Amino acid sequence: MNVTDLVDAREQATPPPEVDSAATSGARVGSLLRPFAGKFAVVVALQVIGALAGLAPLLAVVEIGRGLLASGPVDRDHIWTVVIIGAVGLLVRLVFTSASFGLGHYVDGAVQLGFRRMLAAQLGRVPIGWFSRRRSGELAKVVGDDVSAVHPFIAHAPGELVAAFVVPLASLIYLLSIDWRLTLITLIPVLLAMLMVPFFMLPARTQEQKDFDAAMGRIASSVVEFVQGISVVKAFGGAERAHQKFLRAADDFVDIFSKWVRGMSVVAAAMQLWLSPPFVLLVVLIGGTSLITGGDLPAADLLPFLLLGLGLTAPIAALGHGFDDMQTAGRAVGRIKEVLDVEPLPEPENPVVARGHRVELRDVRFGYEDDQEVLRGIDLTLEPGTVTALVGPSGSGKSTLVQLLPRFFDPTHGCVMLGGVDLRELGSRELYGTVSFVFQDVRLLRASVAENIALAVPKADHDDIVRVARLANIHDRTLELPRGYDSIIGEDVKLSGGEAQRISIARALLADAPVLVLDEATAFIDPQTEHAVRQALTARGTDRTVLVIAHRLETIAHADTVVMLEDGAIVERGSPEDLLARGGKFAAFWQAQQSAVAQVEPSGAAVPGEETR
């Protein structure tokens, strides 16, 4: 498979997606559905015609009864005509409802695909930081299950709901034309059932429904956790206790579920009884017999009520039946809209081109939560051709700072500039073409090794991929795989953490971007790789802008500039020699590091200035 295949052909064919953050999710969902409006209308029309035609055989039975029960000679021709009309009615019903079903599901598939693509596009635009507060499994559920839950809405609701109202309405009018008293009597079961509806809406029921949903969510996340943490579950043993959280969630769920069902069982049973054919027939028969014995109704007129009366309950049944589906779909739509409503990082209308690749941070403030600032006024310039080492205690904001460069977040105040242009004015393609990074949490795709390496440079050729793979020390291992560079990660081979890390390094090397941001702890995974990466980075030599979260004293010692971060602010900056000589916070930090290293490895570490550069 060629790497460029990964990029869908439509990349060339269609303009980039409109990024209209002002459009509400509702409007976007509407615009998604609009092209299908005509088809929906056809689905409904077919279903209604088919359902009405379904009344024909029932009316035929009525007519046959009338003909046979009428006094005097039987009109045989009329009766046979009626039989034929009934049979034709059945045929029409068959053809039209089948067509409606087929078309409905076809449209449904297209709409679902549209929804999923819309969600995927949205997920590709929201700030990266938004993901850190969400479980990816839950988002996958939105794209998968929640969109599927809309299915009854699209495929069934238009046709079936309309039919469920139109047909009983037609029946009702017909029955009224025969005898209004018996019609009203026939409606008694519907009335009884409607009286039950409020019982389903009691606050207690709504609360139970909410509890049920919450319990279901807990089950889903506890099982994800259980499976992901299975190695810990096993290591800390005791099938009995380690997964008790899952079992507790399960118990909880079953209890809530039982309570919910018990709360409704009597009401639900009563409702089902009122709508059941035996009860409806009983009511019609009692009413009919009273009217017939009183001489108020010809016996033959009872027939249409026996045949069509049952159909009058259809709307209630459809509502009751569809109620759950509709609630589920409603909640699903809510979750879908929640995702669609996230403000994406705004793309500039007229992207400006950066001049050079000096990086400047001007009075940058940032916090993940409104009330907690992680960066508090950072002013920093990274010159091309220099290496800047970011040091500081854990929790000082180093990781957050470097994540602003690839625009995982926008600063809440101040700006980050690349080549004199605010990142926000820069097109995202250009930004990502310029800034490359190696961070923690390497994620490989279930795609070939070559594709994974070329992820950021889809058009790279094979030689380039091999070259960077060699540099990142993953080439030999790749050749050992069953299908070499075409081996699918996760299917043909499972890579270890270190190997995955190497692939991510190869990615960054291939991208060869003029600005490189990396976390030393993850970039230098073993002596061989560290060596290779250092060489590869310096090979480009001249004008790369490098920002590194530095942990090793040797890296710090060889940086052009050291920036010491503490509690979200820069406390010291300068060349490592100057800073050491100043004897301030950095010097203290250096001493602490050195003694820490000495504790681990007594042979001592490099001291700036003592080595040749």
Partner 1 sequence: MIGLLLRVLGNEYAKPMRRTVALMTVTAIVEGLLYALLVPVLHKLFGANPADAWPYLLGFAGAVAVYAVLRYLSDVSGMRVGTSMLRGMYYKLGDHLARLPLGWYDATRVGDVSTMASKGLLAALGVAAHLLSPFISAMVTPLTIVAVMIAYDWRLGLAALAAAPLVAVIQKWTARSSAAVDAERHERDNEAAGRVIEFIQAQPVLRAGGRTGERFGLLDDALRDVERTSRRGVGAVLPGAVSLTVTVQTVFTLLLVLGTYLGLGGDIGVAELLSILVLAARCADPLLSLSDIGGKLRGARVELERLDTVLRTAPLPEPAEPVRPDSHGVEFDSITFKHGDRVVFDDVSLTVPVGQRLAVVGPSGAGKSTLLQLLARFYDVDAGAVRIGGVDVRSMDTEDLMSRIAIVFQDVYLFDGTIEQNVRLGRPDATDAEVRAAASAARLDEVIDRLPEGWSADVGEGGARLSGGERQRVSIARALLKDAPIVLLDEVTSSLDPVNEAAVHEGIERLMAGRTVVTVAHRMRTVRRADRVVFLDGGKIVEEGSHDELLLQGGRYADFWNISTASTASG
Neighbours of 48 (CB within 10 A): 20
Q: Which of 549, 523, 608 is nearest to 390 (CA)?
A: 549
Provide the 3-class DSSP secondary structure of residue 211.
Answer: helix
Candidate ranges 40-48, 187-195, 359-367, 389-397; the one touching partner 1 (CB under 8 A): 389-397
Subset of 404-443 contacting partner 1 (CB under 8 A) = 406, 408, 428-429, 432-433, 435-437, 439-441, 443
Q: Count of residues binding partner 1 (CB under 8 A)?
A: 187
Nearer Cβ to partner 1 (358/407): 407
Record the tokens describing residue 406, joined without a space.
């690839």
Instruction: Kindly tell me the burial class for residue 277, based on how many C-beta atoms sit within 10 Å of its own C-beta (0-12, 13-18, 19 or more).
Output: exposed
286 binds partner 1 (CB under 8 A): yes
Burial class for 73, CB neighbours closer than 10 Å (0-12, 13-18, 19+): exposed
Contact pick of 39, 337, 362, 558 for partner 1 (by CB under 8 A): 558
CB 537, CB 512: distance < 8 Å:
no
Distance CA 173, CA 361 (A): 75
What would the two tokens of residue 336 be?
Answer: 């879908």
**Nearest CB to partner 1, comparing residues 413 and 605:** 605
Beta bridge partners of 391: 564
Q: Please give the single-letter amino acid code of residue 470.
A: R
Min dist. Cβ of residue 389 to partner 1 (A): 12
- Residue 257 sits in the site that holds partner 1 (CB under 8 A): yes
SS3 382: strand
CB of 546 to partner 1, least distance (A): 13
Our CB check for partner 1 shows the closer of 146 and 572 to be 146
- In whole angstroms, the minimum distance from the beta carbon of 68 to partner 1 comes to 5
188 is a site residue for partner 1 (CB under 8 A):
no
Interacting positions 10-29 with partner 1 (CB under 8 A): 10-11, 14, 16-17
Position among 23, 169, 202, 261 found at the interface with partner 1 (CB under 8 A): 261
Contact track, partner 1, 196-235, x by CB under 8 A: --------------------x--xxx-xxxxxxxxxxxxx
Query: For residue 482, what is the DSSP state?
Result: T
Separation between Cα atoms, residue 182 and residue 247, nearest integer Å: 56
Please choose, out of 26-34, 162-170, 331-339, 525-533, the segment that lies near partner 1 by the rule CB under 8 A.
525-533
Instruction: Kindly state whether residue 395 participates in binding partner 1, applying the rule CB under 8 A.
Output: yes
Residue 485 identity (one-letter amino acid): Y
Residues 437-476 that bind partner 1 (CB under 8 A): 437, 439-441, 443-447, 455-458
Q: Cβ atoms within 10 A of the Cβ of 214, count?
A: 13
Say how far apart CA 165 and CA 173 lie, in whole Å: 12
User: Pick from 265, 330, 420, 582: which binds partner 1 (CB under 8 A)?
Assistant: 265
Of 105-144, binders to partner 1 (CB under 8 A) are 105-106, 108-110, 112-113, 116-117, 119-125, 128, 131-132, 135-137, 139-141, 143-144
